A and B are shown apart, each in its own frame.
Chain A
Amino acid sequence: MSESTQSSITVLYFAAASTATGLTEEIVLIPSNGLPLSSLGDLLISRHLGTDLANVLQSSQWSVDAEMVDEPDSVVLKGGEEVAVICPVSGG
């Protein structure tokens, strides 16, 4: 696949998501015409088969460029974004 048809995002994993994937971050290639955020979960699961990631994502939210996403269905990633899996928090 030529470079001109792909962009990339940085995905950040914390807590249970990082324990499941064994990673704290990874670069993920996405189509240069964009990837709906609602498709990202399945894409990440396919990169980490046999892990608990699917389970973790079920109870998680997304943040894009350090802003929480309230309506994931309305977000399309274009490339260059920093996307984080925000699993249930436990601060304080």
Chain B
Amino acid sequence: MDLPPSTSVEATFEIPEGICVLSYSLNVQQIIQSVQDDAAGATAVFIGTTRNSFKGKTVTRLEYQAYSKLAIKTMASIVRDASQAIFRSDHQTKGQNVQPLIRCAVHHRLGTVLVGEPSIVIAVSSPHRKEAFVACEQILEDVKKKAQVWKREFYEGENEDTAEWKENH
């Protein structure tokens, strides 16, 4: 395996709206617990896992690297944007000045992620379900579009040197 870039390191960025983490490990239950709050009626969670196939080929693992100091800033601004978008949108319960989202947590793996293992976990808590679902999805789509994270896909029986770096579309 090639050495990862020196800047592809673990990183954490905490903002008022939540926490963003790049790490070599993920604890799904811990991440869900980290957004818990007595004011929350809903917690939406997305878990992305390594799938065992791509276009008919058997995937054995994914490898992730990041430009961590930039990726973590991007993830934080994504969380901030989602919080603000929900605040202004129709999803907010009319006539109430409740904070629409309580807490977000976005954790992304670095390094090797085997088939079936989680590579990204997004957890969002809010008083009501609609905001949690909407924010969770928006954060996921924005991370896929913008975060300075890259994954390489390895297939069974293929030379590792030719493993391709994926591109999100």
Does A92 lie within 8 Å of B166, measured CB to CB? no
The size class of the interface chain A forms with chain B is: 20 to 34
CB-contact partner of B149 in A13, A25, A84, A92, under 8 A: A92
B interface bracket (residues with beta carbon within 8 Å of A): 20 to 34
Neighbouring A residues of B125 by C-beta, 8 Å: none
Contacts of B2 in A (CB 8 A): 18-19
A residues 63-92 near B (Cβ < 8 Å) are 63, 66-68, 84, 86-92
B152 within 8 A of A: yes
Q: Which of A12, A25, A91 contacts B150 (CB 8 A)?
A: A91
- Whether A14 contacts B167 in the complex (CB less than 8 A), given A25-B6, A90-B150, comes out as no
CB under 8 Å from chain B, chain A span 35-57: none
Could you tell me if A16 and B165 are in contact, using CB atoms closer than 8 angstroms? yes
| Chain A residues in 8 Å Cβ range of B146 | 89
Main secondary structure of the interface of B (DSSP, over half): mixed
Please give, as numbers and ranges, the residues of chain B lying within 8 Å of A92 by CB-CB distance.
48, 108, 119-120, 140, 143-144, 147, 149, 168
* Interface presence of B39 (CB below 8 A): no
- Is A87 within 8 A of B67, CB to CB? no
Q: Please indicate the chain B residues that have their CB under 8 angstroms from the CB of A88 in the complex.
A: 167-168
Give chain A nearest CB distance to B106 CB in angstroms. Answer: 9
B116-149 CB mask vs A (1 if < 8 Å, else 0) is 0001100000000000000000001001111111
A24 contacts the other chain (CB 8 A): yes
Across the two chains, which residue of chain A brings its CB closest to B169?
Answer: A88
Q: B4: shortest Cβ distance to chain A, in Å?
A: 7
A-to-B contact residues, CB < 8 Å: 12-16, 18-19, 24-25, 59, 63, 66-68, 84, 86-92
Q: Which residues of B contact A59 (CB under 8 A)?
A: 167
| Distance of A91 Cα from B73 Cα, bound (Å) | 14
| Residues of B56-91 whose CB lies within 8 A of A | 64-67, 69-71, 73
